[in-house]
Amino acid sequence: MFKITPEVITGEAVREAVEGPDAGAVVLFFGTVRNNTGGRPVKCLEYEAYPPMAEKKMAEIAQEIADKWGIHRVAMVHRVGRLEIGEVSVAVAVASPHRKDGFEACKYAMDRLKQIVPIWKREVWADGETEWVKPDAVYFDALKPHKTDPQTD
Amino acid sequence: MNVTVKYFAVCHEMLDRSEEEMELPEGATVQTILKRLEEEWPEIAEFYEVMQMSVNWEYATENTELVEGDEVALIPPVTGGCDV
């Protein structure tokens, strides 16, 4: 399951998407809307995506996980639209034979999602101002400049 | 030839539209689109350094050649997920 959706994300649907008899562990991660950014009160967040490309990139991340860990049960769902404090913005589920690989693969999926999946977040501050979020420096540095050919590693 | 160009997030706001059809000469590249947008809105060039482009849902370069019916997008730095 690789999906961009305006609907509420439930853990059960994401878990069911990865369950299977060869799994000894299911690692489930939720990203949720926090009530502040750097101490500044946040009213809500708005997410926008490029759905067909985002879902394609999610599937590519799952393929990377299959290549690295031999794990074939990965689900990624990201919500779009206006999200209130506490709501789930993103969910990643990884089912693996053993928990260590599952935890590592789940973290990898989230890190890669923030690098290559075309989704954007706008903060609506409590005072009413809005602002498109700039990426964390660590991810920003990892962006491949468009002037060079994509790496093929 | 005609291509579709999509704008997201900050680009959407800057250009005040989310997509448009663009008629381009044969042999046009992604660069052709960037130059045309820059003529309309010079400030957008400042974002080119950090922005990526895609053609048909795949990251592309300025030199990627376009063909009839391509779907091109300007991709500002992505910020999905959550801050943990």
Residue ranges of domains in chain B, CATH in brackets: 2-75 (3.10.20.30)
Inter-chain residue contact B8 with A50, CB threshold 8 Å = yes
Inter-chain residue contact A147 with B6, CB threshold 8 Å = no
pLDDT in tens, B55-79: 999 999 999 999 999 999 999 988 8
Reported as type and span, the H/E element at residue B71 is: strand B71-75
DSSP one-letter code for A35? S
Do the domain assignments include residue A152?
A: no
pLDDT in tens, A96-105: 999 999 999 9
Q: In chain B, what residues touch A32 (CB-CB under 8 Å)?
A: 82
Cβ(A146)–Cβ(B73) below 8 Å: no
Range of the domain at A21: 2-142
Contact pairs from chain A to chain B, CB under 8 Å: 101
Please tell me whether residue A84 adopts helix, strand or coil conformation: strand
What pLDDT, on a 0 to 100 scale, did the predictor assign at position A132? 86
Inter-chain residue contact B80 with A134, CB threshold 8 Å = no
Do the domain assignments include residue A150?
A: no
In angstroms, the CA B8 to CA B22 distance is 17
Lowest average pLDDT, out of A136-150, B21-35, B40-54, goes to A136-150
Inter-chain residue contact B82 with A89, CB threshold 8 Å = yes
Do the domain assignments include residue A137?
A: yes
DSSP one-letter code for A54? H
Reported ipTM: the value is 0.91
What pLDDT, on a 0 to 100 scale, did the predictor assign at position B84? 56
Inter-chain residue contact B9 with A120, CB threshold 8 Å = yes
Please tell me whether residue B43 adopts helix, strand or coil conformation: helix
Q: By CA distance, what is A33's nearest residue in B? A: B82
Do the domain assignments include residue A128?
A: yes
CATH code (residue A44): 3.90.1170.40
In angstroms, the CA A84 to CA A86 distance is 6
Beta strand ranges found along chain A (DSSP E) = 2-5, 25-32, 36-37, 40-49, 73-79, 81-84, 88-96, 119-125, 130-132
Q: In chain A, what residues touch B64 (CB-CB under 8 Å)?
A: none
Selecting from A34, A53, A78 the residue whose C-beta is nearest the C-beta of B54 gives A53
Domains in chain A, number: 1
pLDDT in tens, A68-107: 999 999 999 999 999 999 999 999 999 999 999 999 999 9
User: φ and ψ at B30, to 5 degrees?
Assistant: -55, -35
pTM: 0.88
Please tell me whether residue A21 adopts helix, strand or coil conformation: coil
Selecting from B60, B61, B81 the residue whose C-beta is nearest the C-beta of A90 gives B81
Do the domain assignments include residue A104?
A: yes
Selecting from A31, A120, A148 the residue whose C-beta is nearest the C-beta of B78 gives A120
Counting Cα atoms < 13 Å in the Cβ hemisphere of B34 gives 23
